[in-house]
Amino acid sequence: MVKKGLFILVFLLLLSSVLAQSPSERGTNWLVKNADWSKDTESLAFTILALERAGKLDKAQEGLQKLLERQDASGCFPKEACKVKDTALATIVLRTFGKDTSRAKNWLEEQKRTALAQGTWWLQLVTSGNGKCDISYDSKTKTFTIENEKVLECSSQPWVDINNCIEQDLTTKNLTQELNVRCNANSIVSLIYQITNNYYILQEEHSSKATIKISNAYFGDYEQTAFATWALNKLEKDTSTLAYLESNIPPEDPLYRALLLLITGKKQYANWLESQQELQGNLGDVYTTSFAILALKSSRRVSQNATQWLEFEQEQDGSWNSNMLDTAIALYSIFEERKVAEGEAEERCGDGVCNIGESEINCPTDCERKEFICGNSIIEGFEECDSKSDDACPGLCNIPGSVDACKCRTLEKQEICTDAFDNDNDRLIDCNDPDCDLDEVCAPIETNCKDEEDNDNDGLIDCDDSDCKEAKDCQGGFPWFLVVALLFIIFALAAAFAIYKKTRPKETKEEFPFKPYVPKKEKGREKPILPRIPSKETKSKVDIELEKSLEEAEKLLKKEK
């Protein structure tokens, strides 16, 4: 009995531990067991990425090998049936695992086409006073005169129509076209694309000298272009598709606004997504909501409702809709970037880049912020120029005496604080880069969820702070500790009952002091056979009739006497 009780207790404890797993743990376990490497390339790619983020590297590597088997000789995916979206997602996987992406990237570049034949491309020239601006391109130069904020050579409009005032079809004959603008006064130079009554500012420079890049490419349709741009953006490659993407975005579509937020980091897309969130927390189905979380999480705008909605939609077995793709994209979105283990960090430390998981403490050689004096006539550290020695980019360096490295300002890439890449090539990524210090993405977070202190000075302590939502110390849900306590009580009662039954005295029958006398059967004497007297209950009809006859005979005899 005791052994059975122990077995039941162990079983129930194991069951309760399974039920007490977090949604991400249950989802990961389901994905490990149900990963089908014969599925479509998109499902395969997101499953590999989700497993990598979950730390299931052996299973992820298994999927990676299956994915590589699908690569075509030309570099695209899948073999002999190449698709832009599939190749884009596969490229992200290859980059995640440090594999060669050049063939896939080159194939994607070859698929680009000229996009926008309709609409108007404008170049806005705003000077601090009347002046002239030279616009150079393809070894040609045109001069424009600005008076009273109007360009005299373009029908006295405030803006220059590029295809009419500079050169016909200049924006469509090439996928990209550079215009070098030089003005004799401080200026604001803006590239604007107009379609119907909608205006899109694609580039803006506050300088008397600027290089404007007209980008007019796409990958055949909106979905292919959006995913290819997302993938190539992760490779830090200029894709020339933003004009098409931003001016042709499908109305009221959260998926593509989430992708544009991932690509551009523009707050307008984050604001739109937050405004469209349903009361339940979702922004459509599991797939779309996952992409919205993926985009918003990086900027710390994602509300708890979106993740809670996903958790509510999770099946009991850990999956989402019993579907490999839905489960993978959901996990990919809700997992934090996989933390670099100490051993892993040591291996990567020294590569010249302050990677995610590294800091000035555990990797000072990569993450220590060094100050190079801009204006000392010495190009040092990561400076591209110096304001007193700027032959590389005349007049485009930082102000002399500034503490950061000199850079060619119009050539400098702006650090995007949400994409886990070193956009401006200064070895510092996202919030490790001082360029992101004032970005709300990099606001301090609650670093210790059980020290009873407000680490990020937002007025919320420990588990009351949303930063601690995923912390083990703050996990809510069903109180499984009560279940365990109840099981122990039941087991204790069962054990006590078993011990009582085992130790109580057994019941014994009383023995009489003497045995009853039973007379012995005498030999030769048979037991007399008594006549059988039938009971009333067993009388037959014959017996009843016989009794009646005897009674009548007795009456007659009495009369004769």
For residue range 463-504, list pLDDT tens digits in order: 877 777 666 567 655 555 566 677 778 877 877 777 766 666
- Grouping H, G, I as helix, E, B as strand and the rest as coil, residue 544 is helix
Whether residue 327 is predicted with pLDDT greater than 70 in this model: the reply is yes
Residue 64 lies in a domain: no
Query: 458 and 400 in one domain?
Result: no
Q: How many other β-carbons are positioned within 10 Å of the β-carbon of residue 170?
A: 19
Whether residue 23 is predicted with pLDDT greater than 50 in this model: the reply is yes
Residue 177 lies in a domain: yes
Would you place residue 343 in the very low, low, confident or very high pLDDT band (cuts 50, 70, 90)?
Answer: very low
Residue 318 lies in a domain: no
Q: How far apart are CA 260 and CA 21, in angstroms?
A: 34
pLDDT computed for residue 346 by the predictor: 44
Average pLDDT for 48-75: 95
- Grouping H, G, I as helix, E, B as strand and the rest as coil, residue 541 is helix
Residue 234 lies in a domain: no
Residue 555 lies in a domain: no
Between the CA of residue 421 and those of 267, 321, 433, what are the distances in Å? 18, 33, 11
pLDDT computed for residue 476 by the predictor: 56
Query: 141 and 165 in one domain?
Result: yes
Q: Which of 63-77, 156-170, 477-491 has the highest mean pLDDT?
A: 63-77
Between the CA of residue 392 and those of 73, 223, 282, 397, what are the distances in Å? 40, 39, 50, 10
Query: 467 and 451 in one domain?
Result: yes
Whether residue 256 is predicted with pLDDT greater than 70 in this model: the reply is yes
Whether residue 513 is predicted with pLDDT greater than 60 in this model: the reply is no
pLDDT digits (tens, 9 = 90+) for 186-236: 888 999 998 888 888 888 888 888 999 998 999 999 999 999 999 998 887
Query: 456 and 427 in one domain?
Result: no
Average pLDDT for 527-546: 58
pLDDT computed for residue 337 by the predictor: 37
Please give the residue range of the domain that contains residue 405.
350-443
Q: Are 225 and 219 in contact (CB under 8 A)?
A: yes
The token pair at 506 is: 């057994």
- Grouping H, G, I as helix, E, B as strand and the rest as coil, residue 330 is helix
pLDDT computed for residue 129 by the predictor: 82
Query: 416 and 457 in one domain?
Result: no
Query: 451 and 406 in one domain?
Result: no
State how many domains the chain has.
3
pLDDT computed for residue 41 by the predictor: 97
Each as own residue / partner, the long-range contacts of residues 100-106 (CB below 8 Å, 24 or more positions apart, any chain) are 101/235, 102/75, 103/71, 103/74, 103/75, 104/71, 104/75, 104/76, 104/77, 105/75, 105/232, 105/235, 105/237, 106/75
What is the overall mean pLDDT for the chain? 77
Q: Are 135 and 240 in contact (CB under 8 A)?
A: no
| Last residue within a domain, chosen from 170, 185, 215 | 215
| Last residue within a domain, chosen from 181, 215, 249 | 215
pLDDT digits (tens, 9 = 90+) for 71-125: 999 999 999 999 999 999 999 999 999 899 999 999 999 999 998 888 899 998 8
Q: Are 260 and 245 in contact (CB under 8 A)?
A: yes
Q: Rounded to the nearest 10 degrees, what angle do helices 324-334 and 23-34 cross at? A: 140
| Last residue within a domain, chosen from 443, 459, 492 | 443
The token pair at 61 is: 């590597």
- Side by side, the strands of the sheet bearing 120-127 are 159-161, 120-127, 187-195, 198-206
Query: 208 and 122 in one domain?
Result: yes
Region of poorest pLDDT, from 298-312, 354-368, 425-439, 479-493? 354-368
pLDDT computed for residue 181 by the predictor: 94
Let me know how long the chain is: 561
Whether residue 375 is predicted with pLDDT greater than 90 in this model: the reply is no
- Pick the closest to residue 418 from 218, 260, 555 (CA basis): 260
Query: 435 and 424 in one domain?
Result: yes
Query: 438 and 368 in one domain?
Result: yes
pLDDT over 90 for what percent of the chain?
A: 32
Spell out a b/e string for 303-340, using b for 16 or more CB atoms within 10 Å of the CB, else e.
Answer: eeebbebbbebbeeebbbeebbbbbbbbbbbbbeebeb
Can you give the pTM of this predicted structure? 0.59
The token pair at 515 is: 């045995």
Query: 146 and 156 in one domain?
Result: yes
pLDDT computed for residue 378 by the predictor: 63
Residue 90 lies in a domain: no
Residue 242 lies in a domain: no
Query: 435 and 396 in one domain?
Result: yes
Q: How far apart are CA 330 and CA 27, in angstroms?
A: 9
Nearest 5°: phi and psi at 357?
Answer: 100, -15
Residue 282 lies in a domain: no
